[in-house]
Structure 1
Amino acid sequence: MNYEEALAYLDTFINYERKTDYQYKAAFKLERIQKFLSNLGNPQHELKAIHVAGTKGKGSSACFIAQILKEEGFRVGLYTSPHLKDFRERIRILDPDNTAEERSAFPGMILKNDLVSLLEQIMPGIGFFRHSFQNFGALTFFEIITAIAFKFFQEKKTDFVVLETGLGGRFDATNAADSYVSVITPISYDHELILGNTLAEIAFEKAGILKKSNKKTKNDVSVCVTAPQPKEVLDVLRRRARSEGAILFEGGRDFYSKKLSGDLFSQNFFYQGLKDTSYFFTTKMLGAHQLVNASLAVAACEALSLHGIKIRGSAVGKGILNAFWPGRLEVMSTKPFIILDGAHNKDSACRLSYFLEKEFKRLRKWMIFGVSEDKDIKGIAEQLEPLVDKVILTRSDNPRAADPRKVLMPYFKNKAYAVTQTVEEAFNILNKEIAAEDAAIITGSLFVVGQARELWQK
């Protein structure tokens, strides 16, 4: 089996990143991946995991945490989704001894040969599971690659792994792992048809990653760190923490940050942390929300002290400075300004609109916009449409993509400059029409952003 054949084989499994018509509780079963992993020897039990769930900022927070731990000298596995261009972006190891890839957008990606080898190792187990445990239902795309990630991190003897949930948390395949620290990023409305129609219902699913203390850890304590949250979310998290006997550190109460200065390339902020620690940091990741994510990451690393693990302030500072997460307010060009941002719900669109209003108020603004059909398209459009001058509507090659003419056009009819069926077509129109003194934002979906980023690099 070669790499292309391996990807083709993985694509034969049901992939909920590309579907909308399914019942969440029937499709997602934690006991299924747990049973499958037990047949593989439970590699996840050998990992020191920091587990990240939430609505927004999961990937950025995971990236910050992994980079901080790497700067402390640890070999850190990083498991995220979805990928922007290369499937291997999902499974990475940040190694302090590997400096050759430091300038890469996604350093430490799993090698193609390693991916093929691991898949071949577990394929007999997949066949055995399919025939012997039919009552659990069919394994999914995400469950298979999560198992591969666990095996990879185990075999490579990582010191820590940082795991981003795929969807929700309670039934997510990543929740088969026990965590040293559970991390909850800002929770807002998203996937309402799947996770619930209220913030409390959504928070209940996310809070499922917060579990009782893990007996194999040094201090036998369960720890959760959360970003500032609405009251109804905090109520859920506090109840969950009490029921699981966990220590809960809350953003805004136990730690906080304040922006000091910034421009289109970096921002400086003050951080007041756990046990009254305080630091001044610089990050290259833009937007006020990234200060929330960075502070959450620092608090998560500080919380490791409850397991006897100390992270130096110098390592934290380097990690915050060197962390980079493509496709999130990423400046690709300055003449004209081209910004990529994967905002795909109303809350993230609100944050993006604030950034655009603040940084590009006097410039003519273009937008390439494409979004998945299961998103709050009306809510996103209400935030972005008033702030842009011309909109090019498009769709990614993901089957969940909303039809730009039938679905998106009614929300942008007064600003629509063109309607396209591919990101490449939209990108070509933008390149032809945009002036050097203009600004453009490409947004609505990480799938759109990923395709646009690849086109720009070409």
Structure 2
Amino acid sequence: MNGENAYLATLMELFGRANFETRRPRTPEAFRLDPIRRLLEGWGNPHRRYAVVHIAGTKGKGSTAAMAEAILRAAGYRTGLYTSPHLHTMRERIRIGGELISPSTVVELFGRLRPAIEADPDLTVFDILTAMGFLAFAEAGVEIAVVEVGLGGRLDSTNVVSPAVCLITALSMDHTEILGPTLAHIAFEKAGILKPGVPAVTAPQTEEAMAVLRQVATERGVPLWTLEGWRYGPEEVAPSGQRGKIQAPDGASWSIRLPLLGRHQWENAALAVAAAIRLREQGWIIPDEAVREGLERVRWPGRFEILREEPPLVLDGAHNDASAARLAETAAEVFPGRRWGVIFGVSADKDPMAILAPLRPLVERIWLTRSRHPRAADPQRLAEAAQALGLPGRIRSEVAYALEEALAEDIPVLVTGSLFVVAEAREAWAAWGRMPMPEVDPIPVRVGGR
């Protein structure tokens, strides 16, 4: 079997297993850590052979993870980065030194784990992907890995690590069917990553969420820092990026050109810098120049990503009301006064009206569509939600059709609602020769939760 066929066969075998990312369980109890612990123990617990920055949250954890990894790599460390979901290929989830692992590495890792996987029907796809990432990092000589939680925190497969630092990004209502009906429930699940004696830093939270984080930190003996006393934000904003400053409470400051757009990205950047400071206290050498260089070089596609400036074509994976509000704020700041043709598709477990409501003032026209993901919502349901907000829309069966039609109208276009919709828009844009084609897996199903 040649390399491409072996990779395809591996993907089909892997994603044929119990997959909570395409078929969600009904209760939190379905998530357990015992299966991945058994799998990792059989390989000598590779996740204990390097330091870890562990990141949970609702919004911004992927961007924060990318920033933290970029800072550490700029400081000269051999880094690992584990994130989810992916846009185009599952290899995006496992990066070493900023590079995706190769298809042959995926085949080799899965082949070695296969006997243990076949012997344990309780292992999920995310368990296996996580174990593959942790094993890949250990065998590549990674010194420090940045690991993003997949869902929640307390019972997430990644919560077997012994971190050097924990970060919690902004919390909001999401995945309530699993994490619980209130922000307090969600904060409790996210706080599950906190470990006794391990420093943690949290982004600004609502009073309800912060009370839970503080309580869990106190009970576990966790030194918990906030961004209180920090100053951060843009001084200049343009489609090409932002210029601004981050200042710590002790007066240390960094002038930064941040390529990621949106004021919320300054909060994520400050959180990544705070993590670097906590690591410095443990003996890690992270010069100020590495902080600047890492933040200036970070790339994270699909988050207010501008594919064309005039008329604008913007892609953003906003998938709940809070992230949609930030998207609306960013669109108004970067492209003031514009009205948008919106291409909108969400996962079936999302509330489309709640996501659309913050975007309503910006919408000129709207196309309702769906990605190829198994959990994509029916566009007819989205059209009903849009109509209820006074937005009569057009239903299109595929993202590429909707994008082609919207672009033909020569208006600003915004693609949002799901990273899966964003991914298909990127691939369509590339297929039309407008950008290099990203590496895309040879099967259409994308796993992930957004």
TM-score over 0.5 (shorter chain)? yes
- Confirm or deny that 1:182 pairs with 2:155: no
| Residue identity opposite 2:208 in structure 1 | E
- Confirm or deny that 1:309 pairs with 2:284: yes
Structure 1 ranges of 4+ moved more than 6 A: none
Offset, 1:411: 2.2
Q: 1:391 aligns to what SS in structure 2? A: strand
Which residue of structure 2 aligns with residue 102 of structure 1?
A: none
- Confirm or deny that 1:228 pairs with 2:204: yes
For 1:380-419, list aligned pairs within 5 A. Answer: 380-412=355-387, 414-419=390-395
Offset, 1:115: 0.9
Which residue of structure 1 aligns with residue 408 of structure 2?
A: 432
Q: Is the 8 A contact 1:385 1:412 kept in 2?
A: no
What is the CA–CA distance in structure 1 between the aligned matches of 2:276 and 2:403, rounded to whole Å? 40
Q: 1:17 aligns to what SS in structure 2? A: coil
Q: 1:174 aligns to what SS in structure 2? A: coil
For 1:32-431, list aligned pairs within 5 A. Answer: 32-94=35-97, 107-130=98-121, 138-213=122-197, 222-253=198-229, 255-273=230-248, 275-412=250-387, 414-431=390-407
- Confirm or deny that 1:450 pairs with 2:441: no
Q: Is the 8 A contact 2:353 2:385 kept in 1?
A: no
Name structure 2 gaps, 5 residues minimum: 432-450
Q: Is the 8 A contact 1:79 1:149 kept in 2?
A: yes
Q: Is the 8 A contact 1:50 1:183 kept in 2?
A: yes
Offset, 1:271: 1.3
| Alignment root-mean-square deviation, CA | 1.5
Q: Deviations over 1:89-111 (max 9, x none)?
A: 111012xxxxxxxxxxxx50001
Q: Deviations over 1:208-247 (max 9, x none)?
A: 011124xxxxxxxx11011111111111111121122121
What is the CA–CA distance in structure 2 between the aligned matches of 1:179 and 1:398, rounded to whole Å? 33
Q: Is the 8 A contact 1:282 1:321 kept in 2?
A: yes
Q: Deviations over 1:274-304 (max 9, x none)?
A: 5432222110100011111111101111110
Q: Is the 8 A contact 1:373 1:401 kept in 2?
A: yes
Name which of 10, 18, 22 aligns with 1:6.
10
Q: Is the 8 A contact 2:237 2:334 kept in 1?
A: no
TM-score, normalised with respect to structure 2: 0.92
| Residue identity opposite 2:9 in structure 1 | E
Offset, 1:412: 3.7
Q: Deviations over 1:1-51 (max 9, x none)?
A: 61111101111112222124x233232101221122112221111121100
What is the CA–CA distance in structure 2 between the aligned matches of 1:276 and 1:16, rounded to whole Å? 45
Q: Is the 8 A contact 1:294 1:320 kept in 2?
A: yes
What is the CA–CA distance in structure 2 between the aligned matches of 1:272 and 1:363, rounded to whole Å? 33
| Residue identity opposite 2:363 in structure 1 | V
Q: 2:12 aligns to what SS in structure 1? A: helix
What is the CA–CA distance in structure 2 between the aligned matches of 1:360 and 1:262, rounded to whole Å? 10
Q: 1:63 aligns to what SS in structure 2? A: helix
Q: 2:58 aligns to what SS in structure 1? A: coil
- Confirm or deny that 1:28 pairs with 2:31: yes
What is the CA–CA distance in structure 1 between the aligned matches of 2:313 and 2:132, rounded to whole Å? 36
Q: Deviations over 1:242-270 (max 9, x none)?
A: 122121110124x3313222211111222
Name which of 13, 16, 19 aligns with 1:15.
19
Q: Is the 8 A contact 2:379 2:395 kept in 1?
A: yes
What is the CA–CA distance in structure 1 between the aligned matches of 2:278 and 2:160, rounded to whole Å? 21
What is the CA–CA distance in structure 1 between the aligned matches of 2:23 and 2:228, rounded to whole Å? 37
Q: 1:246 aligns to what SS in structure 2? A: coil
